[in-house]
Amino acid sequence: MLLNLVLAGWALDWRIVPALLAGWFLADLASGVIHMLMDYVPCPEGVGLGTLYFYGEGRDTPEYAALRRQVFARISPLDRILFDFKVHHPRPDSLGRRSMHYQIWSTIVFAALPVSLLLNAWALLWPAPGWVMAGALAFVIGGTFSQYFHGALHRRDNPPVVNVMRRLHLLMTPEMHDRHHRSLQRDFATISGWSNPLLNHVFHWLRARGHLRDEGLEPVG
């Protein structure tokens, strides 16, 4: 990302501000689209994810940790992320207790790193104007921290920057995110929430056509 900054052609340009806001909106939109899919695309069946999901009490025991390791060894990293999204609904506060590293590794590997490398390749081939790079970086940074921001919605103690960003409406509030947890049928975005009105329409449009069915919400077997 530092290279992204260095390679861009910087000049004072009014387009930098709308580009930053557009990048932040697109990151919010991406967080919502991915969350929607991860909630409703079914987990692989018969590998023990259902047992893990409905484990009940005793999840802080070595037996549960061993079972989780065993089950996770059978599935792909993407299916582990799929499971983490679904298990977040019955146990929302556990995401807030995770380390920042755990919350952001997948968005870095699957999104921020490839996009940032592509931006560098592009800037080397054709000098990118500063406003394009600013928008792209807002998108990459928002995307990278989307699960961290989501975790912050389920935690009381957050760094002051989170509270300042909430006051500026750059981040959504826990009350806004509660609406998702109450129905699991709306408000999937987890950064600013700016894209939720649009995504709620997309969700209902897809549901009316038989996609995103309730069976996908909980793992089986």
Which residues contribute to the site for Zn ion (CB under 5 A)?
A: 39
- The helix/strand count (H/E) of the chain reads as 13, 0
Q: Which tokens hold the place of 81? A: 């992320």
| CA-to-CA dists, residue 58 to 55, 132, 133, 144, 221, angstroms | 8, 50, 48, 32, 19
Tally the C-alpha atoms within 13 A of residue 21's C-alpha that lie toward its C-beta: 7
Q: CA-CA distance, 140 to 211, in Å (whole number)?
A: 29
Q: Which tokens hold the place of 153? A: 């919605």
